């Protein structure tokens, strides 16, 4: 038996409720939540789809750490509480009283809650949209396809592995402070497109220009919380730092481009 302590919310009403779940050796937190939904309280809501840590639906705060519920084993978080809470600082608030053997489950921080564990992701998707997350490919497909070396491919791959689950956003202190901060996922995605030889130079520079500000690259505290929680080993902070290093070059290009334009 394992006890879940779940933060519930319906409109303005917020409360904590405990559920006793019959656990099995390899049970995930997601499965434990299904147990509650199917046997104890059909009203409990949380998002899910793949149950295999690839779709990014089920991010939530488990024992004060943002993680995917499907990838988190009940056995590994059963007696964990009060250990990490210290390390996770700001996320540890509001303080909730939990017994040692309870698993505390709350919605992802830095988001508005719609109900129970379902948060409003629209803001996250909007932030992503801001960086124009696509390759601006021309209509003509080159014969035989574009060539790319395996080295470049592997460099980009670190960033394409992002599943947009938003655990990083939930762990990010800058996102907690500034609602307009683009956040680790969008900024890592921006770097992914910068690295891609298929992206047009002018679009790379425009994107870099768009994130060259306090709500973008310069808003990051460089505390690597996003890197620590990412279930896919993406490294947003490194991507942010790498883009900061490109900025002087980019600003010169911008001036140069302006100069050229005025000549036209």
Give residues in contact with another protein (CB under 8 A): 10, 26, 28, 37-39, 41-43, 45, 47-57, 71, 114-116, 118, 121, 125, 129, 132-137, 141-142, 144-150, 153, 156-157, 160-161, 163-164, 196, 198
- Residue choice 51, 78, 132, 253 for contact with ligand FES (CB under 6 A): 51
Answer for the pair 233, 239: CB distance below 8 angstroms, yes or no. no
Q: Which is nearer to another protein, 136 or 238 (CB)?
A: 136
Which helix or strand (DSSP H or E) is residue 179 part of? none
Half-sphere exposure of 245 (CA within 13 A, CB side): 8
Minimum Å gap between C-beta 122 and another protein is 9
Q: Which is nearer to another protein, 9 or 82 (CB)?
A: 9
Which helix or strand (DSSP H or E) is residue 254 part of? helix 236-263
Q: Which is nearer to ligand FES, 56 or 239 (CB)?
A: 56
By CB atoms closer than 10 A (0-12, 13-18, 19+), residue 83 is exposed
Dmax of the chain from CA atoms? 75
When CB distances are held under 5 to 8 angstroms depending on the partner's kind, the choice from another protein, ligand FES, none that residue 18 binds is none
Q: Does 236 bind ligand FES (CB under 6 A)?
A: no
Q: Which residues contact 216 (CB under 8 A, 6 or more apart)?
A: 181, 182, 187, 210
- Residue choice 56, 109, 170, 236 for contact with ligand FES (CB under 6 A): 56
Minimum Å gap between C-beta 201 and another protein is 16
Q: How far is CA 69 from the centre of its chain?
A: 14
Q: Which positions touch ligand FES (CB under 6 A)?
A: 48-51, 53-58, 68, 70
């Amino acid at each position: 038996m394992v006890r879940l302590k779940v933060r519930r919310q319906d409109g303005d009403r917020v409360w904590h409720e405990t559920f006793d779940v019959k656990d099995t050796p390899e049970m995930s937190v997601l499965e434990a939540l299904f147990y509650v939904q199917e046997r104890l309280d059909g009203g409990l809501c949380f998002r899910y789809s793949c149950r295999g840590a690839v779709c990014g639906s089920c991010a939530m705060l488990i024992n004060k750490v943002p993680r995917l519920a499907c990838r988190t084993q009940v056995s590994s978080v059963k007696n964990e509480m009060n250990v990490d809470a210290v390390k996770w600082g700001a996320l540890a608030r509001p303080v909730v009283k939990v017994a040692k053997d309870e698993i505390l489950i709350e919605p992802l921080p830095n988001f508005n809650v719609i109900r129970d564990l379902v948060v409003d992701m629209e803001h996250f998707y909007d932030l992503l949209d801001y960086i124009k997350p696509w390759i601006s490919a021309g209509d003509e497909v080159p014969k035989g396809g574009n060539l790319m070396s395996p080295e470049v491919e592997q460099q980009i791959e670190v960033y394409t592995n992002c599943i947009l689950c938003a655990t990083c956003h939930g762990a990010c202190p800058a996102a907690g402070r500034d609602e307009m901060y683009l956040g680790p996922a969008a900024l890592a995605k921006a770097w992914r497109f910068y690295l891609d030889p298929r992206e047009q130079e002018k679009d790379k520079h425009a994107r870099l220009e768009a994130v060259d500000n306090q709500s973008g690259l310069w808003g990051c505290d460089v505390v690597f919380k996003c890197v620590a929680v990412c279930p896919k080993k993406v490294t947003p902070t490194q991507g942010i730092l790498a883009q900061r290093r490109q900025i002087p070059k980019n600003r010169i290009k911008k001036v140069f481009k302006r100069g050229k334009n005025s000549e036209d």
